[in-house]
Amino acid sequence: MSTSAQDTKQDQHVAKVIGVTVAAAVGGFLFGFDSSVVNGAVDSIGSHFELSEFFKGFAVAVALLGCALGAWFAGRLADKWGRKPVMLVGSFLFLISSIGTGFAWSVPDLIVWRILGGLGIGIASVIAPAYIAEIAPAKFRGALGSMQQLAITIGIFIALLSDSLLQDSAGGASNDLWFGIEAWRWMFFVGVIPAIVYGVLALMIPESPRYLVGNNLDEEAARILREVTGEKDPLNRVKEIRLTLKRESNVSLKDIRGPSFGLHPLVWVGIWIAVLQQFVGINAIFYYSTTLWQSVGFSESESFKTSVITGVINVVMTFGAILFVDRIGRRRLLKIGSVGMFIGLVLAAIAFTQQQGSGDSVTLPDTYGTLALIGANLFVVAFAATWGPVMWVMLGEMFPNRIRGVALGVCTAMNWIANFAISLLFPQLSQSLGLAYVYGFFALCAAISYFYVQFKVPETNGMELEDMGDLRSGKTIPTEVS
């Protein structure tokens, strides 16, 4: 074959991999969309069902418990049923939860629908990075894995935008929109569209070769490796995969047990990066930014605009990670992110020390309002370009094949539990302790995240998934990529 014909062939493979990845990352879009769509609806839900502040918060956060459960089981189900069927289950859960939440008639059924939606988000949060890592060639894996985060950020942004458009059209979220149904209910109905798109795409994409080899469907696996990833010697690759999967039968939680406080040391690394990703307080911004800015004296419309701008920054900065993750490596990017987040959070904490008033009538003197704004957005810039995507990329790729499904599920579930804790406690703690202390805590976590990466996180850049087993023996821990 001539060089140019080879190049064209290679380009086609790259295009196919990207197509497949986009399909898998639509799960990320739903994750972003469904977790933040409740923002625009929460006040109306509160007044419609006459909920106390605590239960209003609970109605928001309870979905995150569903996410934790979904993430916990998705890995194991994906190993049993295959990646595609699990994606279809996710799509079905998104669908019924969007319709059910929209039609919710009482608090108990609202909570059930929110939990079911959460299960779908949890499934999508595990299955997309696993699938992407399994189908993408090593040299593009980081960039392709970051597509999931890009999809999450776009999902968050579109949810905010759609909420505000519906609210605008009805002249208020609690007002009737079409067919005498209130606008806040339509906010949830909109989720039906991406849920269906996800289901259709899940039907169209190929099954993961690693799953197929694990189920003795070697020929099918070789075909997909040849056609999708452009593998030159697919049969040999199948053999390699088989070698690494050899002992993979009935993997369960006991397989991630190990000498380090009862767990495999790499699983601890995954758990800590997952928890730290939430403990820096990102969702105090994405679930509560409008309330936050109003609480320090911004007008409602200023607060709303600020939130939308932050949503855009979040999307745009994710491209930074896509460009750099495979070039400068995961560890270096995470450390740069920790420093940036720390600076942003400290600036915001300093600004919040100037809070005047209490309860609902808190304000900030002008200069400090600007400082808080700069600090919070700097934090989002740093998070979006580093910890946001890189944590998902690393969870998808850092575990040896044999335990990937289970370990990824456990770590992602911890990410959701940490998210639940912060989302539930943030409103109460910022009232009782004050925002300065809460942001001080987030800054402390950003500082801890730097040292954690420095001393504990291995570099996984450019390694084939089959070689991740070596991380276990400590052979490649920790190296800097030059």
Cα–Cα dist 294/17, whole Å:
44
Residues near ligand BGC, by CB under 6 A = 149, 152-153, 156, 277, 282-283, 286, 314, 388, 415, 419
Cα–Cα dist 63/60, whole Å:
6
Closest to ligand BGC by CB, 25 vs 241, is: 25
Closest to ligand BGC by CB, 164 vs 314, is: 314
CB closest to ligand BGC, residue no: 388
Structure tokens, 423: 């989302």
| Distance of closest approach, residue 308 Cβ to ligand BGC, in angstroms | 14
Closest to ligand BGC by CB, 224 vs 275, is: 275
Closest to ligand BGC by CB, 64 vs 89, is: 64
Closest to ligand BGC by CB, 244 vs 338, is: 338
Cα–Cα dist 422/261, whole Å:
25
Can you tell me which residue has the tokens 């009737």? 176
Q: Are 124 and 28 spatial neighbours (Cβ–Cβ below 8 Å)?
A: yes
| Distance of closest approach, residue 50 Cβ to ligand BGC, in angstroms | 29
| Distance of closest approach, residue 125 Cβ to ligand BGC, in angstroms | 7
| Distance of closest approach, residue 437 Cβ to ligand BGC, in angstroms | 22
| Distance of closest approach, residue 315 Cβ to ligand BGC, in angstroms | 9
| Distance of closest approach, residue 418 Cβ to ligand BGC, in angstroms | 9
| Distance of closest approach, residue 369 Cβ to ligand BGC, in angstroms | 24
432's CB contacts (< 8 A; 6+ apart) are: none
Of 270, 210, 310, 231, residue with least CA distance to 399: 270
| Distance of closest approach, residue 132 Cβ to ligand BGC, in angstroms | 14
443's CB contacts (< 8 A; 6+ apart) are: 342, 345, 346, 349
| Distance of closest approach, residue 299 Cβ to ligand BGC, in angstroms | 25
Closest to ligand BGC by CB, 153 vs 164, is: 153
Closest to ligand BGC by CB, 153 vs 461, is: 153
Closest to ligand BGC by CB, 286 vs 439, is: 286
Closest to ligand BGC by CB, 167 vs 415, is: 415
Closest to ligand BGC by CB, 190 vs 276, is: 276
Structure tokens, 345: 């959070």
| Distance of closest approach, residue 110 Cβ to ligand BGC, in angstroms | 22
| Distance of closest approach, residue 220 Cβ to ligand BGC, in angstroms | 33
Closest to ligand BGC by CB, 149 vs 295, is: 149
